[in-house]
Amino acid sequence: MTISPSRTTDAAPVQDGGSIGDPWPADRVDPARSARQLTWGNFRRHLWGVSSRRLQTEGQLSRLGREIEALYGKLHPSDALRTIPGIGDALAPLVLGVLHEARRFAGLHQLRGFCGLFPRTGSSGGAGRPGQAITRSGNNRIKRALHLAADAARRTDPELAAVYWRLMVRKGRHHKRALCAVATRLVDRIGEAPRTGGAHELRDTDGAPVSVADGEAIAAARYTVPPEIRSARRRCHAEVAA
């Protein structure tokens, strides 16, 4: 009995992208299809590994966050730091962990010095030169945290928004210099929080208590720096740096 070639049963398995009616012969190999199959297999294994590591990392971060929160609550039960605009849930434990207790500093000036938020001193011919750049000394972690906090606080706290606006618009300062001034005022509040133990109360520029929503509205309405001024300060800073 002769078997018709069209009814043979020893054809190779169907390759990716082929069809049942058109099997790829066993004695012929399609390099492009083999490469695609190999690449897809490696990609699936890589994707599975990344997903597993991500789940493991998220679990570790979640567990670490709970431990940090428990320790923070034990060391700072009043939670006054989080009531300061810009500090928030994430930065409060960092600030507490770096500064420990504000009472260990002799005064606010020493606390500012630890944070690196004071200008360089410079003089020429016996005359002082005001407006020097902020010194590079101080704890880098707390400086980074304070700059982030200051950028957030100036959008919420009308008093800090007024400081930032005045330096940018009237004094001709660059964004970073204005943020340093806001951060300095945040340091003063951080230094007072452990001593008083009370929550910080948000106020407008007249001293009247306001809510967070009202504070944001006041900051946006009265103390938004015009785009053309911000652009001009950026160009001036770039020219001086060059």
Burial per residue of 44-81, b for 16 or more beta-carbon CB atoms within 10 angstroms, e otherwise = eeeeeeeeeeeeeeeeeeeeeeeeeeeebeeebeeebb
Which pLDDT score is estimated for 158?
96
Which H or E element spans position 127? strand 127-128
Q: Is residue 5 part of a domain?
A: no
Q: Is residue 141 part of a domain?
A: yes
| CA distance linking residue 196 with residue 101, whole number of Å | 13
Q: Which residue has the higher pLDDT, 176 or 44?
A: 176
Q: Is residue 109 part of a domain?
A: yes
What phi and psi values does residue 166 have, to the nearest 5 degrees? -65, -40
| CA distance linking residue 37 with residue 216, whole number of Å | 56
Structural domain for 97, as ranges = 54-119+137-241
Task: Work out how many domains the chain is built from and give that number.
Answer: 1
pLDDT one-digit tens code per residue, 200-229: 899 999 999 999 999 999 999 999 999 998
| CA distance linking residue 195 with residue 63, whole number of Å | 31
Q: Of the candidates 196, 189, 187, 201, which has an alpha carbon nearest to the alpha carbon of residue 98? A: 187
| CA distance linking residue 165 with residue 75, whole number of Å | 36
Which pLDDT score is estimated for 185?
92
Q: Is residue 143 part of a domain?
A: yes
pLDDT one-digit tens code per residue, 113-123: 888 775 554 44
Please give the C-alpha separations between residue 214 and each of 44, 103, 122, 209, 221, in angstroms, as whole numbers.
51, 33, 41, 10, 10
Which pLDDT score is estimated for 168?
93
Confidence category of residue 230, pLDDT binned at 50, 70, 90: confident
Reply yes or no on whether the pLDDT at 234 is more than 90: no
Which H or E element spans position 123? strand 123-124
Which pLDDT score is estimated for 240?
53
Q: Is residue 217 part of a domain?
A: yes
- Tokens in use for 218? 């006041």
- Tokens in use for 159? 């008093």
Reply yes or no on whether the pLDDT at 79 is more than 50: yes
Work out the percent of the chain whose per-residue pLDDT is above 90.
29
CB 158 within 8 A of CB 201: no
| CA distance linking residue 157 with residue 220, whole number of Å | 10
Confidence category of residue 12, pLDDT binned at 50, 70, 90: very low
Which pLDDT score is estimated for 124?
46
pLDDT one-digit tens code per residue, 170-183: 998 888 889 999 99
Q: Which residue has the higher pLDDT, 112 or 2?
A: 112
Q: Is residue 43 part of a domain?
A: no
Confidence category of residue 31, pLDDT binned at 50, 70, 90: low
Q: Of the candidates 139, 135, 140, which has an alpha carbon nearest to the alpha carbon of residue 121? A: 135
pLDDT one-digit tens code per residue, 136-150: 566 788 888 899 999
Confidence category of residue 21, pLDDT binned at 50, 70, 90: very low
CA dihedral 159, 163, 164, 165 (to 10 degrees): 90
| CA distance linking residue 78 with residue 55, whole number of Å | 34
**H-only helix segments in 76-133:** 88-99, 108-115
Q: Of the candidates 140, 121, 141, 139, which has an alpha carbon nearest to the alpha carbon of residue 131? A: 121
Which H or E element spans position 39? helix 31-75
- Tokens in use for 77? 């039960």
- Tokens in use for 211? 């809510």
Which pLDDT score is estimated for 144?
87
Q: Is residue 222 part of a domain?
A: yes
According to DSSP, residue 166 is labeled I
Confidence category of residue 95, pLDDT binned at 50, 70, 90: confident
Q: Is residue 131 part of a domain?
A: no
